[in-house]
Chain A
Amino acid sequence: MNTWSDVWGFPFGRLTWDALPVMDIFKADGRTELLSGITGTAAAGMAVLGFVLVVILITVKGWWRPLWSEWLTSVDHKKIGIMYIVFSFVMLARALAEAFVMRSQQVVGHDGGGIVMPEHFAQLFTTHGTIMIFFMAMPFLTGMINFAMPLQIGARDVAFPVLNSVSLMLTIAGGVILMVSLVLEPFSTGGWTGYPPYTELSYNPGAGPDYWIWAVTLSSVGSTFTGLNFAVTIYKKRCPGMTLMRMPLFTWTSLCTSILMIFAMPPLTIATALLALDRYMGFHFFTNGGGGNMMNYANLFWLFGHPEVYILILPAFGIWSEVFATFSGKTLYGYTALVIATMAIAVLSFTVWVHHFFTMGQSANLNAAFGIATMLIGVPTGVKIYDWMLTMYRGRVRISVPMLYAIAFLFLFTIGGLSGILLANPTIDYQTHNTLFLVAHFHNMLIPGLLYGMIAGYTMWFPKAFGFRLDERWGYRAAWCWIIGFMGAFFPLYVLGLMGMPRRMSGYFTGEWLPWTIIALGGAAVILAGFLSLIVQLWVSVRDRKRLAVPVGDPWDGRSLEWGLPAPAPEWNFPALPRVEGRDAFATLKASGRDLGPPEDGFEDIWLPKNAAFGPVIGALGTALAFTLTWHMWWAVLPLAALVPLVIIAQGFRRNTEKRIPAEEVRKEWRAFRELAARTPRVPRSSEYTRDNRGHAIPMAQEAAR
């Protein structure tokens, strides 16, 4: 025996040919095993093919240099935001495909068999959940905040631009690990919550839970940095006059989400770290024996997990606030109430985590207290719903694409809230816990709540990022598909849950469940069509970008500062930091016939942070560390781990980190923009979705007065 290789895992650690999904085909015994192997191999093949195609495309087009110098190393908050969102779309594609396979399995897996083996099915629901939470929803909302929040508060960038890049790259590193796990199997089968002792060494000795631990750890560290970064940005980087109570609601919800990230992500990092100690060093935090107790994990995980739900939903609430006000041509109803409600939700979110395990055997007093705390969250949430409705009251409501999502959200989210109140009752939860009723409930909150909100925000802010609108025809198609598809896919799950069908079933023998799973599969197909419509929309919009261009930057008669900037916004955002006199800063300016003016005391040089390779390097190191740790390649782990502090120290020695934008350049660009605006006719809202909309809006109030 080669002891050196045994001890140091040189060169491949415990990685063997068996990790390749194609081996499942060779070893298949029976039809389902074969189909399962083919499904897994096809998925891995698609991942590899996609990667190769992208590499070829970039090489052929000669994009490597611009990709590196204009995107990957960029610390511009707008570009980082865009990269977050691109990343989340890629991950969304994979997790949606997995959902579709799971739905199919529950149709064909009736009476056993089907297209994936139980173990494979378990990997699917684990990656689906892990991706959707950590690598779709989190990057999507982080990207959205990154892009819009600094613009809304009149800042040039976030407080720590390089750290922002590190956060992005750590998140991507986690995503890369998930994609690698598709090609070098297996991933964890322990669900997105990774409950021990199932994920402990004694029950799952393989690489799966380790992949999960490191992917989630990378992402949670990145999100902690993001929370710190955004909170400091909002506290310290607001422009003159932008008091807290003048901030747009989206900025408020961003602040609350950041606070939640700061307090809620560390428990997750701790939980995964302790689990890693159990698995790597023989500790006994959550093991069955040796004094371990998995209940501690459940508490730590949900101490993160419940605030996480509000980390996800609050930014969407912010977007809804912007959407309802903008597309009702009216100021937001109940600003103060909405701020209080947002903060109330943020605080209460730390007081409800036990409702994730009412069934763990604690006393009725404890369960009842947490049940009531859970229902209390319904109060501020209900206030928000009513305030958005009252925003439409006495307004002029335009059913634009974001508004279509918003209205669907009002209805569907109310249904989700209703099922949430049911689940908050321990008495009901004792029946519906671990069933598809619960699965339906949280998808009902997260798809109409979070995802519709993110797509609405993406539709609304896309012109600000790229200078042209997204094609509306495909926008409506996508919206209808998402709405109908959601109802088709998840309302049957409510029924199935009440009929006693547990979650995570790869097979079942109860015929009464079958019809409902068929309907759910149909719904999933419509959702898939919705996603494809979004892709087509993007393609069509890029193709027709001349027709859809809105260079003056205010295509929707917007209300907050960002709409006063050209589209796309310049790298330095504001030629001079604006001075704000009230809420709805840009709407107020427009109402009095003004614009974001030139600086009162002349243009000055602007200093911006230079590009930094630090983020990508940390991301690459994180990916390599996670991979080598997962496969026990100790010979590589040690030098990689040693490199991390060295790189951080090296970054500390970096001087000359800022670049100067000469005042003259800023002045010229601003002059050109104002001249363009002056010769571009203002359009009424009826022309919003026409070629005439070049981003120069007649304020709705003036239009109505004419």
Chain B
Amino acid sequence: MPPTVPKRRAWLRVGALAAVWAAAGKAQAESFLDPAGPVAAAQVTHLRIILIIMAIVVIPVFAATPWLIRRYRYGRPKGDYRPDWSFSTLFEWLAWGVPVIVVLILAVYLWGRTHSLDPYNPVPGAAGKPLVVDVVGYDWKWLFIYPEEGVASVGELAFPASRPLELHLTSDTVMQSFLIPRLGSQIYAMKGMRTKLNLAADSPGTFEGRNTQYNGEGFYTQTFKARAMSDAAFSHWVSKAKASGLPFDGKARDAVEAKSNKVELARKLDQPTGQPILFSTAPSAMFDEIAGLKETAQ
């Protein structure tokens, strides 16, 4: 017997839960189900299509199992009883054939999508010359280097919404994984190696990005904002970085390499916390060095 709960108390509980829910709604979760770029949008479509195709093999299980249990239950059986029945050519064909066909369809689809959405290729359908950004993962922040613009930043990945992003990634520490859910795919960043990721935004907006690969105690704070801006705003952002950013000198590099999250880094560099840290110079050779693109004497 389940214990009976007085009605009023039950309602109180529901109320409390709803209050928690409402309070919790304040900070929006950033999900690819709410896509802001062509890659994420294609991923949602892909997800939907797989779910629909998979219904062919899933629904029989959900529909037939209750029917079987009911019809053939020991207590009040309705169907016939054939204890030695163990094979049917028809069922055998269905059991193998239907999943094979479903997997074939899915496989064709998978092959196409994996190639068209390959993060190493330009984003399909995104016009404009890609903006190249070199991304270096540190414990526990990301450094964004703009080799063409000659600036760099921590905590903010700014880019013009009119141009796709071509990210080159590496890590100056343990392996990390770079993800901006509303824009698209994630990719690992590893020391001594360069990985690539192409993304694009539909329109200006701010999207949360983070490292998803555990890399120590500051892991959960390793987030950043990806800001897609108008062209004018981006030019302004670059000139602001050039004008008022810190030089990326030896001191800055030491601070970035030390174990700290972006807030602790800002404190160390005497910058206001809660804002991105901008650098007026881009350590462009540094990326190649960390990514192992420049062979050192070894």
- Measuring CB to CB, which residues of chain A are less than 8 angstroms from any residue of chain B? 117-119, 122, 189-191, 195-198, 203, 288-289, 291, 293-295, 328-335, 337, 357, 359-361, 363-365, 367-368, 371-372, 375-376, 378-379, 382-383, 385-387, 389-390, 392-399, 407, 410-411, 414-415, 417-418, 421-422, 424-428, 430-431, 433-435, 498-515, 518, 685-686, 700-701, 704
The minimal Cβ–Cβ distance linking B41 to chain A, given in whole angstroms, is: 12
The minimal Cβ–Cβ distance linking A119 to chain B, given in whole angstroms, is: 5
When A288-B191, A294-B175 are in contact, do A431 and B65 touch as well, CB less than 8 Å? no
The segment from B71-79, B129-137, B266-274, B278-286 that touches chain A is: B71-79
B218 touches A427 (CB 8 A): no
- Give chain B residues whose Cβ lies under 8 Å from the Cβ of A430: 43, 117, 119, 184-187
The segment from B106-114, B149-157, B233-241 that touches chain A is: B106-114
Q: Considering only CB atoms, which chain A residue lies closest to B185 in the complex?
A: A430
- Give chain B residues whose Cβ lies under 8 Å from the Cβ of A361: 120, 187-188, 193, 195-196
A512 touches B62 (CB 8 A): no
Q: Considering only CB atoms, which chain B residue lies closest to A704 in the complex?
A: B81
- Give chain A residues whose Cβ lies under 8 Å from the Cβ of B195: 360-361
The minimal Cβ–Cβ distance linking A260 to chain B, given in whole angstroms, is: 22
Contact of B32 among A191, A431, A512 (CB under 8 A): A431
Say if the beta carbon of B124 comes within 8 Å of chain A. no
- Provide 29 A-B residue pairs closer than 8 Å at the C-beta atoms, listed in order of the A residue: A118-B217, A118-B218, A189-B214, A196-B174, A198-B174, A198-B214, A203-B174, A361-B187, A363-B118, A372-B103, A378-B103, A379-B100, A382-B98, A383-B96, A394-B79, A395-B83, A411-B65, A417-B58, A425-B106, A427-B43, A430-B186, A431-B32, A435-B212, A500-B179, A508-B220, A513-B24, A515-B20, A685-B74, A704-B81
Contact of B47 among A364, A385, A428 (CB under 8 A): A428
The 7 closest A-B pairs by CB, nearest first: A430-B185, A434-B212, A361-B195, A118-B217, A512-B29, A511-B27, A364-B118
B81 touches A375 (CB 8 A): no
The minimal Cβ–Cβ distance linking B262 to chain A, given in whole angstroms, is: 13
Q: How far is the CA of A398 from the CA of B106 in the complex (A)?
A: 37
When A117-B217, A500-B181 are in contact, do A428 and B50 touch as well, CB less than 8 Å? yes
Contact of B69 among A329, A407, A427, A701 (CB under 8 A): A407
Q: How far is the CA of A392 from the CA of B86 in the complex (A)?
A: 11
The minimal Cβ–Cβ distance linking A144 to chain B, given in whole angstroms, is: 25
Q: How far is the CA of A425 from the CA of B44 in the complex (A)?
A: 12
Q: How far is the CA of A364 from the CA of B114 in the complex (A)?
A: 6
Q: How far is the CA of A514 from the CA of B51 in the complex (A)?
A: 27
A501 touches B50 (CB 8 A): no
Q: At the interface, is chain A mostly helix, strand, loop or mixed?
A: helix
Q: Considering only CB atoms, which chain B residue lies closest to A358 in the complex?
A: B114
When A291-B298, A433-B186, A500-B181 are in contact, do A422 and B50 touch as well, CB less than 8 Å? yes
A334 touches B95 (CB 8 A): yes
B175 touches A331 (CB 8 A): no
Contacts A119-B217, A387-B95, A431-B185 given; 13 further ones with Cβ under 8 A? A289-B192, A291-B298, A294-B175, A294-B190, A360-B190, A389-B65, A390-B88, A421-B50, A421-B106, A425-B106, A426-B110, A513-B24, A513-B29
Q: Considering only CB atoms, which chain A residue lies closest to B95 in the complex?
A: A386
- Give chain B residues whose Cβ lies under 8 Å from the Cβ of A195: 174-175
Q: How far is the CA of A38 from the CA of B46 in the complex (A)?
A: 47
- Give chain A residues whose Cβ lies under 8 Å from the Cβ of B40: 431
When A335-B86, A502-B212, A512-B25 are in contact, do A372 and B61 touch as well, CB less than 8 Å? no
B68 touches A397 (CB 8 A): yes
B186 touches A382 (CB 8 A): no
Contact of B26 among A396, A422, A511 (CB under 8 A): A511
Say if the beta carbon of B30 comes within 8 Å of chain A. yes
B188 touches A389 (CB 8 A): no
- Give chain A residues whose Cβ lies under 8 Å from the Cβ of B185: 359, 427, 430-431
- Give chain A residues whose Cβ lies under 8 Å from the Cβ of B98: 382
Query: Which residues of B, 218-248, contact A by the 8 Å Cβ criterion?
Result: 218-221
Contact of B107 among A117, A375, A389, A422 (CB under 8 A): A375
The minimal Cβ–Cβ distance linking B83 to chain A, given in whole angstroms, is: 4
When A330-B83, A414-B58 are in contact, do A337 and B92 touch as well, CB less than 8 Å? yes
Say if the beta carbon of B206 comes within 8 Å of chain A. no
Q: Considering only CB atoms, which chain B residue lies closest to A191 in the complex?
A: B214
B103 touches A379 (CB 8 A): yes
The minimal Cβ–Cβ distance linking A581 to chain B, given in whole angstroms, is: 15
Q: How far is the CA of A289 from the CA of B190 in the complex (A)?
A: 12
Contact of B91 among A386, A425, A503 (CB under 8 A): A386
Q: Which of A198, A337, A411, A508 has the most CB of B within 10 A?
A: A198
Q: How far is the CA of A117 from the CA of B220 in the complex (A)?
A: 12
B68 touches A418 (CB 8 A): no
B74 touches A329 (CB 8 A): yes
A331 touches B86 (CB 8 A): yes
A367 touches B186 (CB 8 A): no
- Give chain A residues whose Cβ lies under 8 Å from the Cβ of B196: 361
- Give chain B residues whose Cβ lies under 8 Å from the Cβ of A511: 23-27
- Give chain A residues whose Cβ lies under 8 Å from the Cβ of B30: 499-500, 510
B65 touches A399 (CB 8 A): no
Q: Which of B60, B120, B216 has the most CB of A within 10 A?
A: B216
- Give chain B residues whose Cβ lies under 8 Å from the Cβ of A502: 179, 210, 212
- Give chain A residues whose Cβ lies under 8 Å from the Cβ of B212: 433-435, 502-503
Q: How far is the CA of A421 from the CA of B195 in the complex (A)?
A: 26
Q: How far is the CA of A513 from the CA of B25 in the complex (A)?
A: 8
Contact of A514 among B20, B61, B69, B217 (CB under 8 A): B20
- Give chain B residues whose Cβ lies under 8 Å from the Cβ of A513: 24, 29
Q: How far is the CA of A421 from the CA of B239 in the complex (A)?
A: 47
The minimal Cβ–Cβ distance linking A367 to chain B, given in whole angstroms, is: 5
Q: How far is the CA of A294 from the CA of B188 in the complex (A)?
A: 12
- Give chain B residues whose Cβ lies under 8 Å from the Cβ of A431: 32, 40, 43, 179, 181, 184-186
Q: Which of A195, A364, A378, A686 has the most CB of B within 10 A?
A: A364
- Give chain A residues whose Cβ lies under 8 Å from the Cβ of B173: 197, 203, 288
Say if the beta carbon of B251 comes within 8 Å of chain A. no
Contact of A189 among B60, B115, B216 (CB under 8 A): B216
The minimal Cβ–Cβ distance linking B146 to chain A, given in whole angstroms, is: 22
- Give chain A residues whose Cβ lies under 8 Å from the Cβ of B50: 421-422, 425, 428
B82 touches A394 (CB 8 A): yes
- Give chain B residues whose Cβ lies under 8 Å from the Cβ of A371: 110, 114
Q: How far is the CA of A514 from the CA of B24 in the complex (A)?
A: 6
Contact of B72 among A191, A395, A509 (CB under 8 A): A395
Q: How far is the CA of A117 from the CA of B17 in the complex (A)?
A: 27
When A399-B69, A410-B61 are in contact, do A428 and B43 touch as well, CB less than 8 Å? yes
- Give chain B residues whose Cβ lies under 8 Å from the Cβ of A291: 298
- Give chain B residues whose Cβ lies under 8 Å from the Cβ of A376: 103
B68 touches A398 (CB 8 A): no
Q: How far is the CA of A96 from the CA of B9 in the complex (A)?
A: 30
- Give chain B residues whose Cβ lies under 8 Å from the Cβ of A385: 61
Q: How far is the CA of A425 from the CA of B116 in the complex (A)?
A: 13
- Give chain A residues whose Cβ lies under 8 Å from the Cβ of B43: 427-428, 430-431
B92 touches A334 (CB 8 A): yes
- Give chain A residues whose Cβ lies under 8 Å from the Cβ of B121: 364
Say if the beta carbon of B293 comes within 8 Å of chain A. no
- Give chain A residues whose Cβ lies under 8 Å from the Cβ of B81: 329-330, 394-396, 704
Q: Considering only CB atoms, which chain B residue lies closest to A204 in the complex?
A: B216
Q: How far is the CA of A511 from the CA of B22 in the complex (A)?
A: 9
Say if the beta carbon of B33 comes within 8 Å of chain A. yes
Q: How far is the CA of A111 from the CA of B60 in the complex (A)?
A: 44
- Give chain A residues whose Cβ lies under 8 Å from the Cβ of B25: 511-512
